[in-house]
Structure 1
Amino acid sequence: MAKVLCVLYDDPVDGYPKTYARDDLPALDGYPGGQTLPTPKGVDFTPGHLLGSVSGELGLRRFLEERGHTLVVTSDKDTEDSEFDRELADADVVISQPFWPAYLTAERIARAPKLKLAITAGIGSDHVDLDAAIEHGVTVAEVTYCNSISVAEHVVMMILSQVRNYLPSYQVVLDGGWNIADCVSRSYDVEGMHVGTVAAGRIGLAVLRRLKPFDVHLHYTDRHRLPREVEEELNLTWHAGTQDMVPHCDVVTVNAPLHPETEGLFDDKLISTMKRGAYLINTARAKIADRDSIVRALESGQLAGYAGDVWYPQPAPADHPWRTMPHHGMTPHISGSSLSAQARYAAGTREILENWLDGESIREEYLIVQGGGLAGTGAHSYSTRT
């Protein structure tokens, strides 16, 4: 029998919800491009309920315990002698979300001799040391596409909120004020701006499609160039690299995975080549941007705004400088954890577990590492140091 160790974020401060704002979720037929939604043999949860917190348990307890397996759920992952570290020693499977990642470092993987499967309930497996997973024969899988559209919607929201100066204007209302001049002194129209995405995979392409109706000029860079018909449909300008693209853009959105080629990409040098007053949106991974370079660029005015929901580490400490830097629109890591997305990534996590426990093949698009190397989506999106 398997021991499954699941790391989830804490419940709401007022306790697990007894009611919800909506009674149902829209029915989706599939993902753009034809990939099917998760297809587990069954689910033990109500779509639209809070599944990603500790009490939600991703809806897995009944399924696992009826089969005789053990499920341990915790949010304690970073403290000294954390419950995660204590339980990891004999775990067969680790499940973690990008929003509250259990960092599976090389050291932790070495201390987990039984570990055979690491599942990301969501998208983005950079919290797993992929080189160490390859070395120790650990399969890494994630629920590809489950929350790509959720993140793309969040990106568009953040672009608009930054360019239109929404958050400070909302604060004026909360404070009982009405000074229109203060609100509009940093407010512009998105129309006519040049907007570029670093990476045009599932999320980046979804962002481009959603921005086209705003009558902006769209740019992208990606190691895999899009088909000509897509470029023509969206009137895209392709650039060979990020360094080539950013000087042309008023807004840059980062939608790339974190790997050795992207870590620290937005540093002082690159940001200095951007238009003065450009906006940078990062819902990908915090370490793609140098922490202190972002602060300096906002303080100097080189960047007009920075918004995102990814931090390092996660959760971010109370004194993290991105909490107090000027002209930011940061949120906790929530873009891909809407209640809508949770229903999909919980179902996908169960599908992966069903396949693995029954000795069946895991979907190719869900695979990041398998058989001692990058596999599936991992081979397309990631690189390793080995």
Structure 2
Amino acid sequence: MLSANSDLFNKAHLMAKNGGWSIADCVARSYDIEGMHFGTLGAGRIGQAVLRRLKSFDMTLHYYDPHRLPDELEKQLGLTYHETPASLVKVCDVVNLQTPLYPSTQGFVNDAFLAKFKRGAYLVNTARGALCDRDAIARALTSGQLAGYGGDVWFPQPAPVDHPWRSMPNHGMTPHISGTSLSAQARYAAGTLETLQNFFDGKPIRKAYLIVDGGRLVGAGANAYKLT
């Protein structure tokens, strides 16, 4: 289920905890994601992981990335490739940002780009807060161009108390908590240990962990970054 406001889930929990039973209040502005069109702007390692997880929810999956994925993977996940971000956002009910932050991508989700979205779409940003024009997001939520905005990345971080994303309507923001679960921290530690051991033993480092080797972008970094 998709909701434009995370407070609804807290309200539903409190209702159950405190003896209430107003189901209509619990499901206000909530929709099934089954049958929705979902698109990711950026289909690197994380973007692909998101697409793989959503395939089981019977969503129609779209993606844009400067590096097109192999045909076999597109067929496996049932992906529709878009040559431009604008082509993707005009047909998707939910848009996911997994774009690296460069000077060229900073603030690219602005008023003009948001106007190309399907009206009433949801935008999820767990990549970088600075990909979005802060005030344009708030305006799009107020006007209804966006039905909801969620994520855990802000600009700047930590966000000031008066940051408009704290008070804009229909948002589901949290502090920057992705990757900080105890399970994730254990994976980070194991990956760091493996990388160091392989380096000192003269063994190849796992491609998923490699960004730069010998001054060249390789492994996970080859498609996700660019040297300037």
Taking structure 2 as the reference length, the TM-score comes to 0.86
Q: Is the 8 A contact 2:98 2:126 kept in 1?
A: yes
Query: Pairwise mapping of residues 208-287 of structure 1 onto structure 2 (< 5 A)?
Result: 208-287=51-130
Change (3 A) 1:213 1:368: closer
Tell me the distance in 2 between the aligned counterparts of 1:212 and 1:330. Answer: 24
Alignment partner of 1:288 is 2:128: no
Max Rg structure: 1
Comparing 212-221 and 271-280, the one that deviates more:
212-221
How far residue 370 of structure 1 moved from its aligned partner, in angstroms, is 4.8
Normalised TM-score (structure 1): 0.53
- Provide the C-alpha distance between the structure 1 equivalents of 2:182 and 2:30, rounded to a whole number of angstroms: 31
Native 8 Å contact 1:161 1:167 kept in 2: no
1:135 aligns with none
Quick check: 1:162 aligned with 2:9? no
CA distance in 1, matches of 2:67, 2:3: 29
Flag as ranges the 4+ runs of structure 1 deviating above 6 A: none
Cα distance in 2, alignment partners of residues 362 and 286 from structure 1: 34
Distance change >3 Å, CA 290–CA 166, structure 1 → 2? closer
Tell me if the contact between 1:197 and 1:220 (Cα under 8 Å) persists in the aligned partners: yes
Q: Note if 1:307 corresponds to 2:147.
A: no
Q: Which runs of 5+ in 2 are unaligned?
A: none
Q: Which runs of 5+ in 1 are unaligned?
A: 1-159
Q: Please name the residue that 2:177 is paired with.
A: 334
Cα offset, 1:325, TM superposition: 1.3
Whether the aligned pair in 2 keeps the contact of 1:276 and 1:303 (CA below 8 Å) is yes
Distance 1:367 1:234, change over 3 A: closer
Q: Which residue of 2 aligns with 1:129?
A: none
- Whichever residue aligns with residue 346 of structure 1, its letter is A
Identity %: 60
How many residue pairs get matched?
A: 224
- Pairwise CA distance, 1:194: 0.7
Instruction: Say which structure, 1 or 2, has more relative contact order (CA 8 Å, 6+ apart).
Output: 1
Instruction: Give CA-to-partner distance per residue, 1:303-355, whole Å, 9 cap, x none.
Output: 00001111122222222221121111111222222211111111222334445
Structural RMSD (CA): 2.4
**Is the 1:162–1:279 contact (alpha carbons within 8 Å) kept by the matching residues of 2?**
no
Distance 2:163 2:217 in 1: 33
Residue type of the partner of 1:236? L
**C-alpha distance in 2, partners of 1:186/1:329?**
13
